[in-house]
Amino acid sequence: MPHSKPRPLISVIIPVYDVADHVADCLRSLQAQTLGDFEALVIDDGSTDNSASIAEKVIGQDPRFQLIRQQNQGLSGARNTGLELVQGTFVAFLDSDDRLDPNYLSRLWQALETTGADWVSCGIRFCFPNDQYIDHSAIHGRAEQHSSGQITRYPQHSWEDAIPHFPSAWNKLYRRSLIEGLRFPEGTWFEDHEFYYQAAARTDHLLHIEAPLYLQTRLRQGQITGRDSDRVFEQFSVLDRVKRLMDSADRPDAERAFEQITSRLLFERSTALRAPERRARYASACAAYLETHKLTYTPDWDPHISRAWGVEMAGTLPLSVVIPWGGRESGLLRESLQSLARQGAPGREILILCSSDHALAEAKAIAEEHPEARVLQHTGRGLGAACNAGLRAARGLYVNFLVAGDTLTEMALHDWVDGLLTSQADFAVSVFRLGLEGKDYHSSFYQDDTVSLDQMAAAAFTFSPEAAIALDGQVSPKLYRRAFLTETGLQFGTGALPGWTLALHAALLAKKAAYFRHSGCNVNQSSAAQAQYQPPHQGRAGFRQVLRSFDQLALDLNPTMVARLPKGWQRRLFARALRQRMAQLKPPCRNLKLALLSASATWVAFRRGLTREQTPLDPGEGRRIATLLSIEARLRRTS
């Protein structure tokens, strides 16, 4: 008698549709599994590119792989085709733009085999372009628990137990008996949710491996979760079906759990929407859905759910981002806009401020790819004038000023805005990185014993005068409550030190401030970025512009503010401005320029009475500056 083909241990279902750039890596990661007893059902769902032929080439003569071709039925239809054909005792789903760690199948199977559990999940590595990645536990509210390798049994006695886990089909291995007869709903997006909750209703626990074994591609063009489409409104009907499922199951806390998962999913869908009109319609529809079902928006159970989405559903724009651009380097503007496009939350407008017709025309062409951006022309010169014009045009509850070329880290705006909403602060300051890569970070303070970063990061605080004078004047890594700026009349300074004026005034006037210890901004250190609004690099001529800005900053402080500042504050700021100017001097003849600048600065400091006392300077100012700002004091001591 002929021998029947042995059943595989695991069946892996891989739907394929127009992923020519990714499908080869996906399938190779499956071929590289340390557990080789599997069948791979590769479902080509009517691809219009050469995905199928690439898959066929990679599969070659590997008998474990089957390539099944069908007319397009969508992701659910492709997965359902696979479910009809599976032979394995266990089942896994792998999206064809993702990859698996080599030990994925082995570790998940071993967890089920040793415990007898019905299903197991694992952590995720979100893989971004340029080889960047972020690891996540795949458990909401426990994002950081992803690398210990520990296996944890999570009870699912109530619906509140079920909702923290990612409701994804992938990143899990199922005992086939658990999902027998289950199918994905066809013709809709967000199909994983119902499948997950149907499976959860059949068992009382879920195993979880704290290791990022599933590698998910992010920011791929065409990804469903990243599409700005009216199909986002399909989330409501999916939620209705989830609610019916929860209500019909013999499991407690359905009402509370549904309110929480509704809050999360309505917010998650918003993160893909950038077209202002569609986003506004969706926000209105979400508010109506919550009202109809007598639900409250509840973001508190997971820090990754944005409080700002509640503000937006109430009809208020959470944020304005103002980008001044002088028109010199289009790449700088593109860098900043691309970093904003990667920010899922909060809702925002982007105002690009240009002072010339040429810059205006070029910025409009660049902004066509960014539907939330508006390009405005302003009069006036310099970075400060552009920022002030942007502030006048802004409509957001909060406002960030982002210098062209600087970039924001993922989740920065989410963290900043939600932090201010929670603390009701007027002003926020963040750690930033000097450069777009590397590990050179700046606390945003020139630290001394009077500044406690840990204490400031722990809760909302009021700036002490010492902390205010220690604050760095960098423009981009700060967020302001717009009403705070308009009510106090605060603006950027003009000239070479625009950010210094606003930062110092805001620190002295803010009733509450917030500090973020995680770096939220990368400050571009390229020569092109630093030259945008800097004075000419010709020694003393550039220093005169810095000096005028310094003098204006001092004049703008009212007597009450001046009385609060610590002794020697002008000397300290002068030294800081001088060091900044020295760093800008470039060859040729840099040493000669440095000598001339030092001589000029010494005379200026002497005329202003800044050399009479040896009050403290910023740590690390250097011997040269400390010496030239102490000449008169030393002469008095020796006479």
pLDDT at 584: 76
Residues 359 and 414 occupy one common structural domain = yes
**Structural domain includes residue 19:** yes
Residues 384 and 296 occupy one common structural domain = no
**Structural domain includes residue 5:** no
How far is 36 from 562, CA to CA, in rounded Å? 73
How far is 503 from 485, CA to CA, in rounded Å? 11
Residues 46 and 128 occupy one common structural domain = yes
**Structural domain includes residue 3:** no
**Structural domain includes residue 1:** no
Helix 631-638 to helix 590-607 angle (10° resolution) is 60
**Structural domain includes residue 491:** yes
pLDDT at 25: 96
Burial of 144 (0-12, 13-18, 19+ CB in 10 A): exposed
pLDDT at 615: 84
Residues 526 and 623 occupy one common structural domain = no
**Structural domain includes residue 2:** no
pLDDT at 353: 97
Count up the domains in the chain and report the number: 4
pLDDT at 432: 97
User: How much of the chain, in percent, has pLDDT values that exceed 90?
Assistant: 72
**Structural domain includes residue 401:** yes
**Structural domain includes residue 141:** yes
- Nearest Cα neighbor of 293 from 259, 337, 344 is 259
The residue out of 224, 242, 268 marking a domain boundary is: 224
Residues 79 and 205 occupy one common structural domain = yes
Residues 207 and 252 occupy one common structural domain = no
pLDDT of residue 222 exceeding 50: no
- The CATH number given to whatever domain includes residue 425 is 3.90.550.10
pLDDT at 1: 42
The three-point CA angle 484-489-494 to 5° equals 115
Q: What is the DSSP letter of 117?
A: -
Q: What is the DSSP letter of 88?
A: S
The residue out of 305, 328, 351 marking a domain boundary is: 305
Mean pLDDT of 186-197: 92
pLDDT at 4: 63
Residues 201 and 117 occupy one common structural domain = yes
The verdict on whether omega for the bond into residue 588 sits within 30 degrees of 0, i.e. cis, is: yes
Residues 430 and 477 occupy one common structural domain = yes
pLDDT at 539: 45
Q: What range defines the domain where residue 262 resides?
A: 230-305
Residues 342 and 392 occupy one common structural domain = yes
Residues 521 and 626 occupy one common structural domain = no
pLDDT of residue 446 exceeding 50: yes
pLDDT of residue 541 exceeding 90: no
pLDDT at 633: 56
Residues 257 and 359 occupy one common structural domain = no
pLDDT at 223: 47
The residue out of 165, 190, 224 marking a domain boundary is: 224
What is the per-residue pLDDT across 279-320, written as a single tens digit (0 to 9) for each?
999 999 999 999 999 999 999 988 889 999 999 999 999 999
Residues 448 and 558 occupy one common structural domain = no
What is the per-residue pLDDT across 579-591, written as a single tens digit (0 to 9) for each?
888 877 878 888 8
What is the per-residue pLDDT across 352-364, written as a single tens digit (0 to 9) for each?
999 999 999 999 9
